[in-house]
Structure 1
Amino acid sequence: MKLLRRIGITFLSISLLAACSQSTSSDKSQEGEKIIVGATMLSMQNEFIVNVHDEMEKKAQELGVELITVDAERSALKQIEQVESFIAQKVDVIIMNPCEVEASSPAIAKALAAKIPIINVNSETSTKPSAFVGSDDVESAKIALKFIAEKLNGKGNILMMQGYMGQAAQIKREQGAKEILKDYPGLKIIAQQTAEWDRAKAMSLMENWIQSYGSQVNAVFAQNDEMGLGAVKALTAAGLKNKVIVVSIDAIPDALQAVKKGELDATVFQNAQQQGAKAIETAVKLAKGQPYDKATLIPFQLVTKENLAKFQ
C-alpha cells in the first residue's frame, strides 16, 4: 500500500510538470542515483565546440553526472546512429550539438519516441527537442555586419565566408548579415562561399578571392573565428590586411590575440562556458523531473581592441 502511494505521488508530481517538462526514461530525483548523460558533438576538431564540451565536462563532474561523449565528425548520419546507441544504453538524457538543421532532426524524433529527453546545445534542428541551450545566431551576424557598415561608412564590397552548409549557425548568420545589408544599400556582398568552419580552407579560399577580386575587397565577414583567422593570414601574406576589415564570430583565444595585435578588426563573443554549463544543468533538471527552461538564450557581445580586456 505504501509503495502504491509513493508511486502515485511520483506520478502526480511528474504530471504537474508536464507543461514544461518532457517524460523522462527514469526519474533520478532520489539522491544517490547517478545521472547518465550521452553527448554527441558536431566536431571535436573545432575549437569552439571543444570549449563548449570542456565546460560540459567540468559541470558534469561538479554535479556528479556521468557524461559519455562521442564525436559526430560533422556527419548527421553518424550523429543519428550515436543517438540510437545512447537510446540502447538507456541513458537518462541526451545532449546533441547538431551537425545539420534537417539531417540531424531524425535523432530528436528517435530520442523523444524512446521517452528520453534530448537537449540541443549551440545549434538547432527543425524538429524541436526537449530543450535548447545556445545563442541567437542571427544576432551575432547583425552585430558583425553593423560593425563593418560603420567602419566603411555604409559603402563597400564584402566577402562572406560561410560555415558548414545546412548547419543552423551558417543559415542564421547568413540571414542576420543580409538583414543588416537591407539598411545599407551602399554595401554589397560580391562573393560568398563555404570554408566549412576551417582555418586552412578559409586561407585557401581567401587566396582565390584575392586573385579574383584584389583591391575591390573592402571587408570580409567570416561566420566563425577559425575562418576569420585563415582570411587574415592570406590577406597579410598578400600585403592587403591594412586595406581590408575582417570580422568573425566566437571570440576563441586565438581570435582575441589577433584582435589585440590588430590583425582581426573585431570578433563577436559567444559564451561557450555558459552554453556548456547550462546544457548540463538543464539535463539534470530533466532527469530529476524538475521544472526547466525550454529555451536558454545567451547574448552575443562585440569584441574590439577597446573592450578586449573584459574577455581575456
Structure 2
Amino acid sequence: MKYILIAALSIAIASCNQSQKSEGGENGSGKKLVVGATMLSMQNEFIVNVSDEMEAKAKELGVELITVDAERSALKQVEQVESFIAQGVDAIIMNPCEVEASSPAVKLAMDANIPIINVNSETSAKPTAFVGSDDTESARIAMKYLAEKLNGKGNVLIMHGFMGQAAQIKRDNGAKEILKANPGMKLLAEQTGEWDRAKAMSLMENWIQSYGSKINAVFAHNDEMGMGAVKALEAAGLKDKVIVVSVDAIPDALQSVKKGALNATIFQNAQEQGGKAIETAVKAAKKEKFEQEVLIPFQLVTKENVGEYLK
C-alpha cells in the first residue's frame, strides 16, 4: 500500500510539473517554444523599440526568439519566412515591408500550418493575427492638430513613409480625409522620405528652396522624417513659422517636443505592440485562445503633456 501511495504521488507531481511547463514558453511535449521574427528595418528606431520589447517579453515567457532584419526588402522577408518554416519554428512574427509584396510570406506560413502574426504593419493576405495600431487614426490626429493650429487655413507638406507599406497607405488616407474636411488647408507638395531622417532633411531643403515662406505646416509619417524636417527648417531660419507634427514618439522626438522644436508627435506604443505580438504568437503556437486583432490606441503628445511620456 505504501508503494502504491508513493507511485501515485510521483505521478501527481510529474503531472503538475508538466502543467506548469506548458503554461510558460514550452509546448505540450516540454520543448522550448521557438518564434522567428522578421522586422522591416533595424535602422528604424521605432522598429528597434518594438523588437526590444519582443525580446524582453520572450525572455519573460521562456521563449526562444530568433530575430532577423529584412532591410526593407519584401523579397528578403519572404525568404526569411521560408527559412523559419524550414527550421520548424513554432510561430512567426512578421513586421511587413510591404502590403502586397510581403503577402506571399503569410501564405507560405499558413500553408505550413505555422501561425504567423503581423506586428505594427499589415499585408493584404490575412495572417493568423494582427497586433498594432490603426495608422489611419494616427494621421487623423496629426492633421486635426494642424487644422486647429492653422485655424483651418494654410499650406501643408506631407512626407510619406516607404511607398506601398501599410502605414504609408493608411496615414496618407487619414491625412487626405482631414484635408478634404478642411478646404482652407492646401496640399502644397507630397513625397516619400522613406522613413529616413537624412532623406527627409534633404527633401525639406528642396521644398524650402521651392516654396520658402509659403510653407505653413509639415506632416511627416514618422518621427525620423519629422526630425529631419525640423533640422532643415531650423537651418533655414524658418522653424518658428512652420508647424511640424510626426508619428511614433521616439525619445529624440519627445525631447524635441519638450524643447519646442517639433510641435507634436503621435505616441505609438512600441512596448504594447512588441509584448502583445509575442503573447499572441505563444498562444497561437500552443493552440490557446487569442485575439485575432489587437489594436493599441495612438495619443497626441504636445509640449503640454510630453512629461507623461518621457522616461
- When normalised by structure 2's length, the TM-score is 0.91
1:139 to 137, 140, 144: 137
Equivalence for 1:255: 253
CA deviation vs aligned residue, 1:62-114 (integer Å, no higher than 9, x gap) = 00000001100000000000000000001000000000000000000000001
Structure 2 segments unaligned to the other structure (5+ residues): 1-24
1:95 to 69, 93, 96: 93
- Give the C-alpha shift of residue 218 in structure 1: 0.2
Structure 1 segments unaligned to the other structure (5+ residues): 1-26
* Cα pair 2:26 2:62 within 8 Å, conserved: no
Amino acid at match of 1:143: I
Higher relative contact order (CA 8 A, sep 6+): 1
- Give the C-alpha shift of residue 28 in structure 1: 5.5
Equivalence for 1:168: 166
User: Separation in 1 of the partners of 2:90 and 2:65?
Assistant: 10
* Cα pair 2:114 2:285 within 8 Å, conserved: no
Identity of aligned residues (%): 77
* Cα pair 2:41 2:70 within 8 Å, conserved: yes
CA RMSD of aligned residues (A): 1.0
Equivalence for 2:177: 179
1:294 to 278, 292, 295: 292
Amino acid at match of 1:123: S
Equivalence for 2:33: 35
- Give the C-alpha shift of residue 249 in structure 1: 0.2
- Give the C-alpha shift of residue 183 in structure 1: 1.2
Equivalence for 1:272: 270
Amino acid at match of 1:61: K
Q: Which has the larger radius of gyration?
A: 2
Amino acid at match of 2:78: I
- Matched residue pairs, number? 286
Equivalence for 1:48: 46
User: Separation in 2 of the partners of 1:149 and 1:81?
Assistant: 43
Matches within 5 A, 1:107-256: 107-256=105-254
Equivalence for 1:306: 304
* Cα pair 1:217 1:244 within 8 Å, conserved: yes
CA deviation vs aligned residue, 1:254-285 (integer Å, no higher than 9, x gap) = 00000000000000000000000000000110
* Cα pair 1:28 1:287 within 8 Å, conserved: no
- Give the C-alpha shift of residue 309 in structure 1: 1.2
Equivalence for 1:23: none
User: Separation in 2 of the partners of 1:234 and 1:270?
Assistant: 25
User: Separation in 1 of the partners of 2:285 and 2:170?
Assistant: 31
- When normalised by structure 1's length, the TM-score is 0.91
